[in-house]
């Protein structure tokens, strides 16, 4: 029921009680539904009348629960299932908003294997150690309040203790980034102790040359970089968390790192070919996955100051580091100039969503926006991408969480000293 990574963060202790999902819907308990998702309980159960929990939520006109069931039931199309009377959930509700929500999901969805998807430093790292997308969501639900909290000061908003402890628990306190071999991983960060700040890349790989030459070519030895510390650096979003050993969020330079990744690919290939290593790799396609495009709103310029309080700062910072528009256009043109297919996926959100928003209602609504986007707006693009990926050589190297992180099956809460990036 619980995967290794969920056991490692003690999810099996926190969510040890079985949840009756029909009972949760009856009593308007969205937390109960979420708990059932964390426990990996089935959502496709039916009552004696053939009703699913979605039928019941629709009949009771509970919009948030309808949305929660649709997003936490993962691959299930419960909105299409008919009960014993031949009725779908949409036919049982009197709420026009619920009818509109369910109607928006009617487009048949294509799927992409999870090993092809990664966005953001934490998500990309999760994929690289063998954590699938569903478990990544479960992890966030379990530990979200441990990450965002614990600070008594106004600035930064949150203590770093929570995120550092969680990263060590999930990724392993002693895991070097070099162990991420099934997928090549690049973690972006910014060295903010210099003026101007300097882009720093932590890579799970290095050129096939003498390690003594790494530094002069701009590489670190991946065996000497701890994965959790690299992620802590890229997670140090200004205002939210303090910098880590002089390193802050890579979004200062490349909130959309597509061009950086293409540059990295060309650089590595050039170095290895120059040294006679015969690197014949080619870029098959570029997939850019965004975290959502929020409604446009006026801001007070780009000055980072305390004039308008902490909310004003975070709003301005978020707009200044937008990951779409210009960045996407440049990446697309570079890809097309190399005759490489380019795919960009980023849903339009109905409401702004702050980085540290822990409210399950807001998380669910944002996820529902994404579900509608996948089913109704990019269905053809995903189908095209699936056909393209199936035509390419598949990565067959195993990506095993236990092997990479050294997890033995027991909870391991080891907090390492943050004084150095490496071991």
Among 131, 291, 279, which residue's Cα sits nearest to residue 205?
279
Q: Which domains can be identified in the chain, with CATH numbers? A: 1-107 (1.25.40.20), 120-294+319-392 (no CATH)
CA distance to 24, 57, 101, 406, per residue, from 29 (Å): 5, 11, 20, 37
Exposure string for 75-105, b = 16+ CB within 10 A, e = fewer: ebebbebebeeebbbbebbeeeebeebbebb
Burial of 326 (0-12, 13-18, 19+ CB in 10 A): exposed
Contacts of 33-39 spanning 24+ positions with Cβ under 8 A: 33/65, 33/68, 33/69, 33/72, 34/68, 34/72, 34/141, 34/360, 36/72, 37/72, 37/138, 37/141, 38/6, 38/11, 38/138, 38/141, 38/142, 39/1, 39/2, 39/15
Let me know the angle formed at the C-alpha of 274 by 269 and 275, rounded to the nearest 5 degrees: 100
Let me know the angle formed at the C-alpha of 113 by 127 and 367, rounded to the nearest 5 degrees: 75
* pLDDT values of the chain reduced to their tens digit, one per residue, 423 residues: 899 999 999 999 999 999 999 999 999 999 999 999 999 999 999 999 999 999 999 999 999 999 999 999 977 889 999 999 999 999 999 999 999 999 998 765 444 433 333 457 888 999 999 999 999 999 999 999 999 987 777 789 999 999 999 999 999 999 999 999 999 999 999 999 988 889 999 999 999 999 999 999 999 999 999 999 999 999 999 889 999 999 999 888 777 889 999 999 999 999 999 999 999 999 999 999 988 887 766 655 545 444 444 444 444 444 444 556 678 899 999 999 999 999 999 998 898 888 899 999 999 999 999 999 988 889 889 999 999 999 999 889 999 999 999 998 865 555 554 555 665
Token pair, residue 166, equals 């969680």
């Amino acid at each position: 029921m619980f995967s290794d990574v969920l056991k490692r963060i003690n999810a099996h202790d926190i969510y040890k009680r079985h949840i009756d999902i029909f009972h949760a819907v009856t009593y308007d308990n969205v937390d109960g539904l979420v708990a059932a998702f964390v426990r990996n309980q089935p959502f496709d159960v039916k009552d004696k009348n053939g009703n699913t929990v979605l039928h019941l939520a629709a009949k009771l006109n509970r919009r948030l629960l309808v949305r929660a069931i649709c997003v936490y039931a993962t691959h299930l199309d419960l909105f299409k299932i008919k009960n014993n009377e031949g009725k779908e959930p949409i036919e049982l509700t009197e709420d026009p908003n619920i009818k509109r929500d369910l109607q928006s999901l009617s487009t048949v969805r294509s799927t992409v294997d999870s090993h092809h998807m990664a966005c953001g430093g934490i998500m990309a790292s999760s994929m690289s150690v063998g954590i699938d997308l569903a478990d990544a969501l479960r992890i966030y639900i379990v530990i979200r309040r441990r990450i965002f909290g614990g600070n008594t000061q106004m600035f930064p908003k949150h203590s770093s203790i929570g995120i550092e402890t969680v990263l060590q628990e999930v990724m392993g306190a002693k895991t070097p980034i070099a162990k991420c071999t099934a997928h090549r991983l690049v973690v972006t960060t910014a060295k903010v102790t210099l003026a101007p700040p300097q882009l720093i890349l932590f890579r799970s790989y290095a050129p096939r040359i003498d390690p003594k030459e790494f530094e002069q070519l701009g590489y670190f030895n991946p065996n000497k970089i701890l994965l959790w510390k690299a992620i802590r650096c890229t997670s140090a979003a200004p205002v939210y968390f303090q910098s880590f050993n002089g390193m802050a969020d890579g979004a200062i330079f490349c909130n959309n790192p597509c061009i950086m990744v293409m540059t990295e690919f060309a650089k590595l290939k050039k170095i290895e070919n120059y040294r006679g290593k015969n690197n014949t790799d080619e870029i098959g396609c570029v997939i850019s996955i965004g975290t959502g495009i929020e409604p446009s709103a006026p801001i007070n310029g780009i000055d980072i100051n305390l004039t308008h309080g902490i909310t004003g700062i975070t709003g301005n910072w978020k707009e200044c580091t937008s990951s779409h528009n210009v960045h996407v256009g440049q990446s697309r043109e570079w890809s097309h100039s190399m005759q490489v297919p380019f795919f960009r996926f980023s849903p339009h959100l109905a409401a702004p969503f702050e980085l540290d928003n822990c409210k399950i209602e807001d998380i669910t609504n944002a996820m529902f926006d994404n579900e509608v986007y996948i089913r109704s707006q990019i269905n053809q693009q995903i189908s095209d991408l699936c056909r393209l990926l199936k035509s390419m050589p598949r990565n067959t190297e195993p990506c095993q969480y236990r092997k990479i992180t050294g997890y033995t099956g027991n909870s391991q809460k080891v907090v390492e000293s943050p004084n150095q990036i490496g071991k």
